[in-house]
Amino acid sequence: MLTAPEPDVPSWTFLTNHAHVLIAISRNADARQRDIAYAVGITVGAVQRIIQDLEDGGYLETERIGRRNRYRVIADKPLRHPLEDEHSVEDLIASVAQ
């Protein structure tokens, strides 16, 4: 089986994997977990756990459509850390928009 090469992910970044997953989903609400994992540079299992955390925290909703998921980011939710809680998810996404 031929697999895609891993993305060139640096050893550390300024944002968490939770933020990276949220940003990846905001760019493609129909992305497969495998594609999110590849984009972020983490395992599919890690993506599954992060998606569950984001759902539990009220930052993400998942709709099952056939065999696929469609995600909806809850953009007006405030960020969780006290240094950032005056900003919303929407602010985060806008700050790194392509």
Spatial distance between the Cα atoms of 14 and 70, rounded to a whole number of angstroms: 27
pLDDT, tens digit (0-9, with 9 covering 90-100), for 5-54? 566 777 888 999 999 999 999 999 999 999 999 999 999 999 999 999 99
Reduced to 3 states, what is the DSSP secondary structure of residue 29?
Answer: coil
Spatial distance between the Cα atoms of 85 and 29, rounded to a whole number of angstroms: 24
The helices-and-strands tally (H runs, E runs) of the chain is: 4, 2
**CATH class name, domain 17-95:** mainly alpha
Would you say the pTM of this structure is higher than 0.85?
yes
pLDDT, tens digit (0-9, with 9 covering 90-100), for 46-90? 999 999 999 999 999 999 999 999 999 999 999 999 999 999 999
